[in-house]
Structure 1
Amino acid sequence: MDLRVQGTVPADPFLSAVDLFETEYELDLPVEVHVRDDPDERIWTAHYDDYHTLNISRQAATSAMARELTLHELSHMARYEEEHPSHTQSTEEALYLALAGKSVERRKLTHCYQIANHMKDIYADDITLSLAPAEKLLYFLESQLAAAVAGTPGSPPGPNFERISPASDPEITAVNAAFALALLERHDLLPDGHRLYDLAHAAADDAPGVDLGEFKRRFRSLTENPTESDYRKALVDVTRAYAVDSGTRPGQAAD
């Protein structure tokens, strides 16, 4: 694989990710790694006709998760090159099909894009988790959910929580919890009684209009090789379940 790192950061995590990835997969197009200074944009991938770009913040590129984050993005590139429906389906088209004629809050519409990304992540991580140990991912998902639950209005922080954001949205936090459980259970990586279950139920308690079990089932049961039609239907259905069927918090009107 032709991967070139542009930026003054150690290349070792990127090269290590490539070594792992190439044990089972390969990319036809070269990859350009661009290191960004904005810490809020952790990592994202873009695809072009003759190359991929992996954009990563300097903070993420020098973190303990750099190899795992890179491997995850290489997995997205593989799904894109194989034209997997999860990576070719237009999110905008699916949202239009799901929400035509409906009045939806602006915040929920934004969340629908995040949910669509979760579905892409499920398929990318089917590759990632076949190649690398899951310990770091499990800890990462646990810490992210703990921070979000601690930042949810009305949820007092426990002894191991740090309230980092007063703006955490309870409903999307509950969906994010369902995604984390589904991803790890899909690969039999979550031990019984793990703290992530307690965090997920705390998130669900803060969002009574969101059915944690339903969203977990939807994410976990995504078929490995869906047809374009099957994947579009799954994305439309989960969008409706969140934006239309889940309850609106008191005091918030639709736009």
Structure 2
Amino acid sequence: MDVHVQGGPAEPFLGARDVFETEQDLERRVTVRVREDPDERTRVSHDAESHLLTISRQAATSAMARELALHEFAHMARYEQGHPSHTQSTEEAIYLALAGRSVERRKLSHCYQIANHMKDIYADDVWLGVAPADKLVTFLESQLATAIADVPHDPPAGQRLTPTSDPDITAVNAAFALALVERHDLVEDDHPMYDLARVAADDAPHVGLSTFKRHFATLARDTDESTYRKALVDVTREYATAQRGEQAAD
């Protein structure tokens, strides 16, 4: 693997390269550009000869830097493999799922996030086989706890100047986290993440946490374009049609 780092620490990315190439490889050159913008944690683009990873300095210097690099290398590998999760048009599948339906902007944005979760499942299938997952589990637990703590439970006394977590997508994120750790046998049944997920499910009972966990956990490992498109359409439609005040089928 040919990895070049610009504007930041090279060690996390070169260390990730050394781990990744014990079982995987990338044919195209990888350029890592570290940027000051903390709001853009990671972004990957591709051309015919290379991959470009843009990452914030905050992420590049965090305790999760090596794991983030491994995750993004795995996305690059899936792209080079022509994996359906990374070649299927997300827009096409979402609009197919939502044809003839009126969907609020908030939910449409969440549908794209759900599609990214599905890509992440397939990327994580690659790198979790070559490196320990302890930091990933801690990260998922921390992110879920933070989101749940930020979900508004009472009418605000005044105007809030910072955004709150949306309970609907928080429940889906909890489903994704559980699906990922169960898919790779990363935690025991009594892990605190399960308690957090129950709270998230209670905050959005109409979403159906176990339904979405099943969608993510059972994604076929050897999928084809048609099967993947159907899975993406199904999960998108499931989320978009869930109505507040109505319990989703579990």
Aligned residue number for residue 3 of structure 1: 3
Q: Which consecutive unaligned segments of at least 5 residues does structure 1 have?
A: 156-164, 251-255
Residue type of the alignment partner of 2:11: D
Q: Which consecutive unaligned segments of at least 5 residues does structure 2 have?
A: 155-161
* TM-score (norm. length: structure 1): 0.92
Aligned residue number for residue 221 of structure 1: 218
Among residues 228, 234, 248, which one is paired with 2:244 in the alignment?
248
Q: Distance in 1 between matches of 2:127 and 2:101?
A: 37
Alignment length (residue pairs): 240
Does the 8 Å CA contact 1:153/1:166 hold for their aligned counterparts? Answer: no
Residue type of the alignment partner of 2:180: L
Among residues 181, 184, 187, which one is paired with 1:184 in the alignment?
181
CA shift, 1:48, in A, is 1.2
Cα deviation 1:65-113 (Å, max 9, x = unaligned)? 1100000000000000000000000000001110011010110000000
Distance 1:249 1:114, change over 3 A: farther
**SS of aligned partner of 1:45:** strand
Residue type of the alignment partner of 2:138: Y
1:195-210 alignment runs, 5 A limit = 195-210=192-207
Residue type of the alignment partner of 1:115: I
Q: Distance in 1 between matches of 2:163 and 2:94?
A: 28
1:47-66 alignment runs, 5 A limit = 47-66=46-65
**SS of aligned partner of 1:32:** strand
Runs of 4 or more consecutive aligned structure 1 residues displaced over 2 Å after TM superposition: none
Among all aligned residue pairs of Structure 1 and Structure 2, give the percentage whose two residues are the same amino acid: 68
Aligned residue number for residue 87 of structure 2: 88
Among residues 222, 238, 249, which one is paired with 2:235 in the alignment?
238
Residue type of the alignment partner of 1:191: E
Q: Distance in 2 between matches of 1:39 and 1:69?
A: 15
CA shift, 1:152, in A, is 0.3
Aligned residue number for residue 160 of structure 1: none
* TM-score (norm. length: structure 2): 0.93
Aligned residue number for residue 109 of structure 1: 108
CA RMSD of aligned residues (A): 1.4
